[in-house]
Amino acid sequence: MLELVRLDGAFESRYPHELSGGQQQRVGVARALAAKPSCLLLDEPFGALDSVTRDALQQELLRIKDELGQTIVFVTHDIIEALTLADRIAVMREGRIEQMASKSDILAKAATPFVKELFARPLAQLDALRSS
């Protein structure tokens, strides 16, 4: 499993405090996958990482998902992260699903005003940054 998450055998004998944040996240994913779950739940796994490490781990997660055909439920409050990683997105508000659809469907036709605003704000911020 360490090889799957691109950590070599040198990491087998290391303690958590000897690993970087990104390495700790990789080990956590490897440990979870070792149990061969039918579905993997990741709750904000990259929230405390810098943007470079976060992007690298997002790409690794996509590779692992494709390589293993693993179903992953990924919880995030980061809209860009959801759009990057998801095949389908469930938008929740106050414990209820507002919309569950592909990212293209959500972007094309939001089911509620909340969903529309939730996705419009970060996308508008990206557009503003590109034009400045």
Tell me, what's the pLDDT at 75? Answer: 95
Convert the pLDDT of each residue in 43-86 to its tens digit.
998 887 888 888 988 998 898 889 889 899 999 999 999 999 99
Mean pLDDT of all residues in 103-132: 91
Report yes or no on 6 lying in a domain.
no
Number of domains in the chain: 1
**Domain range spanning residue 101?**
86-132
Report yes or no on 55 lying in a domain.
no
Report yes or no on 132 lying in a domain.
yes
In this predicted structure, the answer to whether residue 118 has a pLDDT above a threshold of 90 is: yes
Q: Which two tokens stand for residue 93?
A: 């508000």
Report yes or no on 26 lying in a domain.
no
Report yes or no on 59 lying in a domain.
no
Q: Helices 51-68 and 21-34: crossing angle, nearest 10°? A: 20
Report yes or no on 56 lying in a domain.
no
Report yes or no on 81 lying in a domain.
no
Report yes or no on 113 lying in a domain.
yes
Give the chain's mean pLDDT: 89
Tell me, what's the pLDDT at 117? Answer: 94
In this predicted structure, the answer to whether residue 132 has a pLDDT above a threshold of 90 is: no
